Amino acid sequence: MDVERFAAELPGLFEDYPRSPVPKGRRFDDVVDGIPNLATENVLALLNLAASLLAPGESYVEVGSYFGASLIGAMRGNGGDFVAIDRFSFDIPEVRGRQLPHARREGLEQSLARFGTEHATILEGDVFELIEGGALGERRVGVYYWDGPHDYESQLRGEAAPVVLGSAGCVQVSAPEKPIEINLNINIRQEVVVRLQQDVRDLIKENPGVF
Protein backbone atom coordinates (compact mmCIF):
# COMPACT_ATOMS: atom_id res chain seq x y z
CA MET A 1 0.00 0.00 0.00
CA ASP A 2 1.46 3.32 -1.07
CA VAL A 3 0.66 5.30 2.06
CA GLU A 4 2.86 8.25 1.12
CA ARG A 5 1.01 8.70 -2.15
CA PHE A 6 -2.30 8.37 -0.30
CA ALA A 7 -1.35 11.16 2.10
CA ALA A 8 -0.14 13.33 -0.76
CA GLU A 9 -3.22 12.87 -2.96
CA LEU A 10 -5.93 13.06 -0.30
CA PRO A 11 -6.12 16.89 -0.15
CA GLY A 12 -6.56 17.00 -3.92
CA LEU A 13 -9.94 15.30 -3.64
CA PHE A 14 -11.44 18.47 -2.16
CA GLU A 15 -11.78 22.10 -3.17
CA ASP A 16 -10.99 23.31 0.35
CA TYR A 17 -9.41 20.46 2.31
CA PRO A 18 -10.26 19.68 5.07
CA ARG A 19 -13.29 21.97 5.20
CA SER A 20 -15.11 20.88 2.03
CA PRO A 21 -18.51 19.32 2.82
CA VAL A 22 -18.30 17.17 -0.34
CA PRO A 23 -15.48 15.98 -2.63
CA LYS A 24 -14.80 17.34 -6.10
CA GLY A 25 -16.97 15.86 -8.82
CA ARG A 26 -19.66 14.48 -6.49
CA ARG A 27 -18.78 10.94 -7.61
CA PHE A 28 -20.61 9.22 -4.78
CA ASP A 29 -23.82 11.18 -4.26
CA ASP A 30 -25.86 8.44 -5.95
CA VAL A 31 -24.52 5.87 -3.48
CA VAL A 32 -25.13 8.02 -0.40
CA ASP A 33 -28.62 8.96 -1.59
CA GLY A 34 -29.59 5.53 -2.85
CA ILE A 35 -28.58 3.18 -0.04
CA PRO A 36 -29.43 3.21 3.69
CA ASN A 37 -26.19 4.32 5.33
CA LEU A 38 -24.40 6.47 7.90
CA ALA A 39 -21.64 7.59 5.55
CA THR A 40 -20.95 10.77 3.57
CA GLU A 41 -19.42 11.40 0.18
CA ASN A 42 -16.20 12.52 1.87
CA VAL A 43 -15.73 9.17 3.55
CA LEU A 44 -16.43 7.29 0.34
CA ALA A 45 -13.96 9.47 -1.57
CA LEU A 46 -11.26 8.73 1.01
CA LEU A 47 -11.88 4.99 0.90
CA ASN A 48 -11.96 5.00 -2.89
CA LEU A 49 -8.59 6.73 -3.09
CA ALA A 50 -7.08 4.29 -0.59
CA ALA A 51 -8.44 1.29 -2.51
CA SER A 52 -7.07 2.67 -5.79
CA LEU A 53 -3.56 2.52 -4.31
CA LEU A 54 -3.60 -1.12 -3.24
CA ALA A 55 -0.51 -2.99 -4.32
CA PRO A 56 -0.87 -6.20 -6.36
CA GLY A 57 -2.02 -9.00 -4.08
CA GLU A 58 -3.36 -6.70 -1.36
CA SER A 59 -6.95 -6.64 -0.18
CA TYR A 60 -9.45 -4.06 1.02
CA VAL A 61 -11.23 -5.26 4.18
CA GLU A 62 -14.02 -3.46 5.98
CA VAL A 63 -15.90 -4.32 9.15
CA GLY A 64 -19.51 -3.21 9.41
CA SER A 65 -20.73 -2.88 5.83
CA TYR A 66 -24.46 -2.53 6.63
CA PHE A 67 -26.11 -1.98 3.20
CA GLY A 68 -22.79 -1.51 1.44
CA ALA A 69 -22.37 2.22 0.81
CA SER A 70 -18.76 2.34 2.01
CA LEU A 71 -17.86 -0.88 0.21
CA ILE A 72 -19.40 0.29 -3.06
CA GLY A 73 -17.67 3.63 -2.72
CA ALA A 74 -14.31 1.94 -2.23
CA MET A 75 -14.87 -0.38 -5.19
CA ARG A 76 -16.07 2.19 -7.70
CA GLY A 77 -13.59 2.23 -10.57
CA ASN A 78 -11.14 0.00 -8.70
CA GLY A 79 -10.16 -3.59 -9.31
CA GLY A 80 -8.83 -6.05 -6.76
CA ASP A 81 -10.00 -8.09 -3.80
CA PHE A 82 -12.68 -6.56 -1.54
CA VAL A 83 -14.03 -8.13 1.64
CA ALA A 84 -16.99 -7.15 3.81
CA ILE A 85 -17.34 -8.48 7.37
CA ASP A 86 -20.67 -8.06 9.13
CA ARG A 87 -22.87 -9.94 11.58
CA PHE A 88 -25.89 -7.92 10.38
CA SER A 89 -27.06 -6.97 13.87
CA PHE A 90 -27.29 -3.17 13.44
CA ASP A 91 -30.79 -2.12 14.48
CA ILE A 92 -31.16 1.60 15.17
CA PRO A 93 -34.39 2.66 13.42
CA GLU A 94 -33.64 6.38 13.20
CA VAL A 95 -30.54 8.59 13.27
CA ARG A 96 -31.05 12.38 13.17
CA GLY A 97 -34.38 12.02 11.45
CA ARG A 98 -33.06 9.50 8.93
CA GLN A 99 -34.95 6.21 8.82
CA LEU A 100 -32.68 3.16 8.77
CA PRO A 101 -33.79 -0.45 8.19
CA HIS A 102 -32.43 -3.39 10.16
CA ALA A 103 -29.18 -4.73 8.72
CA ARG A 104 -29.54 -7.89 6.64
CA ARG A 105 -27.27 -9.79 4.31
CA GLU A 106 -29.86 -9.77 1.53
CA GLY A 107 -29.90 -5.98 1.65
CA LEU A 108 -26.13 -5.81 1.24
CA GLU A 109 -26.20 -8.32 -1.60
CA GLN A 110 -28.94 -6.37 -3.38
CA SER A 111 -26.98 -3.13 -3.06
CA LEU A 112 -23.83 -4.73 -4.44
CA ALA A 113 -25.74 -6.17 -7.39
CA ARG A 114 -27.45 -2.84 -8.08
CA PHE A 115 -24.11 -1.04 -8.38
CA GLY A 116 -22.29 -3.83 -10.22
CA THR A 117 -20.03 -4.74 -7.31
CA GLU A 118 -21.37 -8.18 -6.48
CA HIS A 119 -17.91 -9.77 -6.80
CA ALA A 120 -17.02 -8.60 -3.27
CA THR A 121 -16.60 -11.34 -0.68
CA ILE A 122 -19.03 -11.26 2.27
CA LEU A 123 -18.00 -12.90 5.54
CA GLU A 124 -20.90 -13.14 7.97
CA GLY A 125 -20.33 -13.52 11.70
CA ASP A 126 -18.45 -12.08 14.65
CA VAL A 127 -15.54 -10.02 13.36
CA PHE A 128 -13.09 -11.16 16.02
CA GLU A 129 -13.93 -14.83 15.61
CA LEU A 130 -13.59 -14.51 11.85
CA ILE A 131 -10.34 -12.54 11.74
CA GLU A 132 -8.63 -14.29 14.63
CA GLY A 133 -9.92 -17.62 13.34
CA GLY A 134 -8.25 -17.18 9.96
CA ALA A 135 -11.32 -16.51 7.80
CA LEU A 136 -9.33 -14.10 5.66
CA GLY A 137 -6.90 -16.84 4.73
CA GLU A 138 -3.66 -15.64 3.18
CA ARG A 139 -4.92 -12.18 2.33
CA ARG A 140 -2.58 -9.23 2.81
CA VAL A 141 -4.62 -6.26 3.93
CA GLY A 142 -3.68 -2.93 2.38
CA VAL A 143 -6.78 -0.95 3.39
CA TYR A 144 -8.75 -1.68 6.55
CA TYR A 145 -11.97 0.19 7.37
CA TRP A 146 -13.46 -0.29 10.83
CA ASP A 147 -17.13 0.54 11.35
CA GLY A 148 -17.85 -2.38 13.66
CA PRO A 149 -18.77 -2.28 17.37
CA HIS A 150 -17.97 1.14 18.80
CA ASP A 151 -17.55 0.39 22.46
CA TYR A 152 -14.08 1.25 23.72
CA GLU A 153 -12.76 -2.30 24.06
CA SER A 154 -14.06 -3.42 20.68
CA GLN A 155 -12.69 -0.31 19.00
CA LEU A 156 -9.19 -0.92 20.31
CA ARG A 157 -9.34 -4.63 19.54
CA GLY A 158 -10.62 -3.89 16.07
CA GLU A 159 -7.91 -1.36 15.35
CA ALA A 160 -5.31 -3.94 16.35
CA ALA A 161 -6.57 -6.41 13.74
CA PRO A 162 -3.97 -5.44 11.12
CA VAL A 163 -1.36 -6.69 13.56
CA VAL A 164 -3.13 -10.05 13.76
CA LEU A 165 -3.30 -10.07 9.97
CA GLY A 166 0.41 -9.36 9.69
CA SER A 167 -0.06 -6.23 7.63
CA ALA A 168 3.22 -4.34 7.80
CA GLY A 169 1.91 -1.36 5.87
CA CYS A 170 -1.69 -0.31 5.41
CA VAL A 171 -4.11 2.58 5.53
CA GLN A 172 -6.48 2.09 8.43
CA VAL A 173 -9.65 4.14 8.68
CA SER A 174 -11.99 4.14 11.66
CA ALA A 175 -15.50 5.54 11.75
CA PRO A 176 -16.47 7.69 14.77
CA GLU A 177 -16.68 6.08 18.19
CA LYS A 178 -20.45 6.69 18.40
CA PRO A 179 -22.02 6.37 14.94
CA ILE A 180 -25.41 7.54 16.21
CA GLU A 181 -23.85 10.96 16.70
CA ILE A 182 -22.49 11.26 13.17
CA ASN A 183 -23.13 14.64 11.60
CA LEU A 184 -23.88 13.78 8.00
CA ASN A 185 -22.53 17.15 6.83
CA ILE A 186 -19.27 17.51 8.76
CA ASN A 187 -15.91 17.48 7.06
CA ILE A 188 -13.66 14.52 6.59
CA ARG A 189 -11.17 15.34 9.33
CA GLN A 190 -13.95 15.40 11.93
CA GLU A 191 -15.61 12.27 10.64
CA VAL A 192 -12.79 9.76 10.32
CA VAL A 193 -9.48 9.01 11.90
CA VAL A 194 -6.83 7.93 9.42
CA ARG A 195 -3.90 5.97 10.75
CA LEU A 196 -1.11 5.58 8.21
CA GLN A 197 0.85 2.51 9.24
CA GLN A 198 4.27 2.28 7.64
CA ASP A 199 5.49 -0.21 10.17
CA VAL A 200 3.10 -1.88 12.59
CA ARG A 201 5.78 -2.97 15.03
CA ASP A 202 7.07 0.59 15.41
CA LEU A 203 3.51 1.83 15.88
CA ILE A 204 2.88 -0.63 18.71
CA LYS A 205 6.17 0.23 20.34
CA GLU A 206 5.48 3.95 20.19
CA ASN A 207 1.85 3.63 21.30
CA PRO A 208 1.71 0.80 23.84
CA GLY A 209 -1.50 2.08 25.36
CA VAL A 210 -3.42 1.89 22.08
CA PHE A 211 -2.85 -1.77 21.35
**Share of the chain residues as helix, strand and coil, in percent rounded to the nearest 5:** 40, 20, 45
In a domain, residue 139? The reply is yes
Query: How confident is the model at residue 162, as a pLDDT?
Result: 66
The CATH code of the domain that includes 85 is 3.40.50
In a domain, residue 167? The reply is yes
**pTM above the 0.95 mark?**
no
In a domain, residue 188? The reply is yes
In a domain, residue 211? The reply is no
In a domain, residue 186? The reply is yes
Query: How confident is the model at residue 180, as a pLDDT?
Result: 26
For residues 196-210, give the mean pLDDT.
49
Total structural domains within the chain: 1
DSSP string, 179-207: GGG--TTS-HHHH-EEEEES-HHHHHHH-
In a domain, residue 85? The reply is yes
Is 109 in a helix, a strand, or coil? helix
DSSP string, 39-96: --HHHHHHHHHHHHTPPTTEEEEEE--TTSHHHHHHHTT--SEEEEEE------SEET
Question: How do 98-99 and 94-95 pair as beta strands?
Answer: antiparallel
What pLDDT band is residue 189 in, cutting at 50, 70 and 90?
A: very low
Q: Range of 77's domain?
A: 3-206
Determine phi and psi for 68, rounding to 5 degrees. Answer: 100, 10
Query: How confident is the model at residue 174, as a pLDDT?
Result: 74
In a domain, residue 159? The reply is yes
Determine phi and psi for 62, rounding to 5 degrees. Answer: -130, 145
What confidence tens digit (pLDDT) does each residue in 109-127 have?
A: 999 999 999 999 999 999 9
What confidence tens digit (pLDDT) does each residue in 46-105 have?
A: 999 999 999 999 999 999 999 999 999 999 999 999 999 999 998 887 776 778 899 999
Distance CA(23)–CA(29), nearest Å, equals: 10
Cβ neighbors of 178 (< 8 A, separation 6 or more) are: 150
What confidence tens digit (pLDDT) does each residue in 21-63 have?
A: 899 988 899 999 999 998 889 999 999 999 999 999 999 999 9
Determine phi and psi for 7, rounding to 5 degrees. Answer: -65, -35
What confidence tens digit (pLDDT) does each residue in 143-172 have?
A: 999 888 878 888 778 777 766 665 656 777
